[in-house]
Chain A
Amino acid sequence: MTAALEVAHLTVALPAGGERTHAVRDVSFAVNRGEIVCLVGESGSGKSVTAQTVMGLLPRTLRPVGAVRLEGEDILLAGEARLRDLRTTRMSMIFQEPMTALNPVMTCGDQVDEVLATHTPLGAAARREKTFAMLRRVGMADAERINAAYPHQLSGGQRQRIMIAMALVLEPVLLIADEPTTALDVTTQAQILKLIQDIQRERGMAVLFITHDFGVVSEIADRVAVLRLGELVELGAMRDVLMRPRHAYTRTLIASVPSMVPRASLRDTSAPVMLRTENLTKVYADGGLFGKRRPVRAAEAVSIEIRRGEALGIVGESGSGKSTVARCIARLIEPTAGRIWLGPDELAAMSGRRLRKHRRRIQIVFQDPYRSLNPRRKVGESIIEGPMNFGLSRAEAVARAAALLEFVRLDRNALERFPQEFSGGQRQRICIARALAMEPELLIADEPVSALDVSVQAQVLRLFADVRKRLGLTMLFITHDLRVAAQVCDTVAVMQRGKVVEHGEVARIFSDPQHAYTRALIEAAPGRHWNFGAFEDAAAGR
């Protein structure tokens, strides 16, 4: 039997003059019916280009060489009309961001219906029946309502279900999933992964699943293909690749996955309390001057406490209010009610010049390293801006900046360069240097590694550990990733819908979660039973 998908010696050259000659070079693999193959790699590895080539979605300027056979038929030789025919009937794709992949002005039902109307001779009634059956199959029991709903009325997970319904309604042989759960919360991710796996088994479908997350790989893959800079470095059964990786790069990648087992805490419970919030509340009043006001309680009565030298992690899904709390404490937004004590000083009621004097003491590192640095200013200017605001001379500030760049392991000539010349990980180091230049008492990190590739993430996390060890800094670490929290934090506060539902030592929370939501979060963490990096053949591959 021929494989559902066979990619043979696929090479996609990039236009001349770029930094890389190939997006993908000599990649060969196959996906059989009834099998999920995970294509794993970091950004720039060529995994998305591979998927686009299979779907015939590459920009015209890129000419793939080699062969991509869908049930024996070479897609690279197919014309546009034939490709249109094949898409959704024989092969389908779902994307990372279901909001942009769905048409915002069409109801979800109509979008599924459109697929049927285009590709089948079915009448309206038959199509409607099929649409409803498909909606129910992807877990929308309330098919009536979903059918009539517009994409913006649904949650991210529901939208992804609609995408899956559209992709699978014509029962294709091959489903390509391009990071389908990356934009979703962990609990939703677990459900979507299960749904894909269930339907795949039920129909004996072939799935090419693109991801950067080894947790996800361990949950669903039958086989794994690892890409690095456009080349296939490893291909094998999931257990083999995860337990006995042959290529050094695969080993590095897998070993970079933070463990779910909390790191031993060096917490000093007798240290004085550095930061304390009392019933911190932030309410957003929606609507303008004349609009109706719908208050949104982003954070409600949040009381947390961090001792000197300790790292507190605030963990939660999107919309839980964890960033709101961080931004209130950094006083980037005004808390509606409650108190923030930094040492002996109360910050929540401060404003104007008095607040600016205290700003030095709390510094924040943001999630998106590409937007955290002003692209028009040299890195050095960004770092010395703060110290100079607080009276340092230019020469002193530059000296401090140079020393800090060395501390975050960047060359001091970075001072004279623009942020665009650095990678995401390097920029995050620069942002850390900028925060440290203020000699803060509290460092807030708001999802500082979630935009980074896993190996870079590991480096930045090591840097944070280093900063804490050498400077004894107190930290507030916001993350959605339990693995990261386990490695960085001493105590953890779990937030759900604006409230802290559980607060305690990290080891206790992970081993004995009290609240149902905490349990659900831990339960949903992909690959939580897997001990990444505990290879069976420690000697090989070095």
Chain B
Amino acid sequence: MTIEAEDERAVARLAAPQARPTHLGRRLLHHRSVVIGGALVLLMVAIAIFAPLLGTVDPKAIDPAYRNRVPGTEHVIARADGAGTTQTFWMGTDSLGRDVYSRVIYGARVSLIVGVTVALISGSIGLAIGLIAGYLRWVDVVIMRVMDGLMAIPGILLAIGLVAVWGAGLFTVILAIVVPEIPRVVRLVRSIVLTIREEPYVEAAISVGTPVPLILIRHVMPNTFAPMIVQATFVCASAILIEAILSFLGIGIPTDIPTWGNIMAEGRQLFRVYPHTILFPGVFVAVTVLAVNMLGDGLRDAFDPRMAKSI
């Protein structure tokens, strides 16, 4: 008897899982792309929040005297009391004489709002639909065909249609990006639900009479969190990119609100002469999307160590 008990304890210790939640935090902090990506994302968020404090001027202020100035040009502002202060156009000015630096900094707000909102909305709608589609077999066929249909709509075309109906604006842009993203989330969640619903612990919950909504919330949904967080970062990155594209094409955010996309759009005509109006917002888009994607990759590796490449 004593031998058996001893062995059981020894086996129990061996069977102790390697990836307990307590280790997750430490693994995250040790993961290079999580740290770098996360730091860059935080930096962007800080820039967006503290935009007025970062030496910016009114991003919409037009100054016909200082059009198309190269980065580093100094500008003396005459005050009412006669004294002048100097302002430097760190990133030059555009063809209307607006400060590109201020526009890029304020542009971070729109990009991040679009990215986060799209990720949250498409994530929660996709989660709900995916759970239902994966668990209730009889609605699955219908839902998934609808999702296939949604995926077949080209995003840009949808955006043009929505702009035609409601006019350009933040809401239209977000809606235009959310709709094609939902099916991707639904597919992910559904595939997870399909494997989890076969787990004996879900069957055990069925046989102790747990109602379906509780089974979904208690036993199935927690398994989707890790992949959902990862998916959300990718949705966020692609939303930022698509918003920039839509604004660049002139069917996104109206030009009076600076966004990285429409700053680039305005600089397009004089790109060969004054590349700075496209360069700086372009760098910001690239860095932000890269940072969010790095964070997503890192989170995926950290949640699922088997997928991680050895670093």
A373 CB contacts on chain B under 8 angstroms: 201, 204
Verify if A198 is at the interface (C-beta below 8 Å from B).
Answer: no
Q: Give Cα distance in the complex from A229 to B210, angstroms.
A: 41
In the docked arrangement, what's the CA distance between A426 and B8, Å? Answer: 8
Contact B207 A362 (CB under 8 A): yes
Q: In the complex, A44 Cα to B73 Cα: how many Å?
A: 73
A372 touches B200 (CB 8 A): yes
User: Among B8, B20, B206, B208, which residue has its beta carbon within 8 angstroms of that of A420?
Assistant: B20
Q: Is B17 an interface residue (CB 8 A)?
A: yes
A385→B208 contact, CB < 8 A: yes
> In the complex, which residues of chain A have a beta carbon less than 8 angstroms from the beta carbon of B3?
248-249, 252
The answer to whether the Cβ of A376 comes within 8 Å of any Cβ in the partner chain is yes
What CA separation (Å) do A374 and B202 show in the bound complex? 8
| Contact residues in A for B206 (Cβ distance below 8 Å) | 332, 359
- Asked whether any CB of chain B lies closer than 8 Å to the CB of A368, the reply is yes
B17 contacts across to A, CB distance below 8 A: 375, 420
Knowing A374-B219, A423-B11, the reply to whether A359 touches B201 (Cβ < 8 A) is no
**Which residue of chain B lies nearest to A364 when distances are taken between CB atoms in the complex?**
B207
CB-CB under 8 A for A366 and B12, given A229-B7, A289-B141: no
- Which residues of chain A are within 8 angstroms of B199 by Cβ–Cβ distance? 371
Is B273's CB within 8 Å of the partner chain A? Answer: no
B218 A364 Cβ-Cβ under 8 A: no
> Knowing A229-B7, A372-B204, A376-B222 touch, does A385 contact B16 (C-beta < 8 A)?
no
Contact, CB under 8 Å: B10 / A421:
no
CB-defined contacts of B200 to chain A, threshold 8 Å: 366-368, 371-372
Check A332/B209 contact, CB under 8 A, given A20-B10, A426-B8: no
Q: Main SS of chain B's interface residues?
A: helix
Q: Which of B1-25 contact A (CB under 8 A)?
A: 3-4, 7-17, 20
Indicate if the CB atoms of B14 and A44 lie closer than 8 Å.
yes
Task: Give the contacting residue for B209; candidates A43, A228, A377, A390; CB below 8 A.
Answer: A390
Distance A459 CA – B4 CA, assembled complex (angstroms): 9
Bound CA span A438–B8, Å: 28
Do B4 and A420 touch across chains, with their CB atoms under 8 A apart?
no
**Which residues of chain B come closer than 8 Å to A422, judged between CB atoms?**
12
Pick the most buried of B207, B208, B211: most chain A CB atoms within 10 A of its CB: B208
B residues 233-261 near A (Cβ < 8 Å) are: none
Residues in B whose Cβ lies below 8 Å from that of A43:
11
Taking A374-B219, A422-B12 as contacts, is the C-beta distance between A389 and B209 under 8 angstroms? Answer: yes
Assuming the A-B contacts A248-B3, A371-B199, A374-B201, are A386 and B15 also in contact, with contact meaning beta carbons closer than 8 angstroms in the complex? no
B203 touches A364 (CB 8 A): yes
Q: List 22 A-B contacts (CB under 8 A).
A: A20-B10, A20-B13, A44-B11, A44-B14, A228-B7, A249-B3, A330-B207, A331-B207, A359-B209, A366-B204, A368-B200, A371-B201, A373-B201, A374-B219, A385-B218, A386-B208, A390-B209, A421-B16, A423-B9, A424-B15, A425-B8, A456-B4
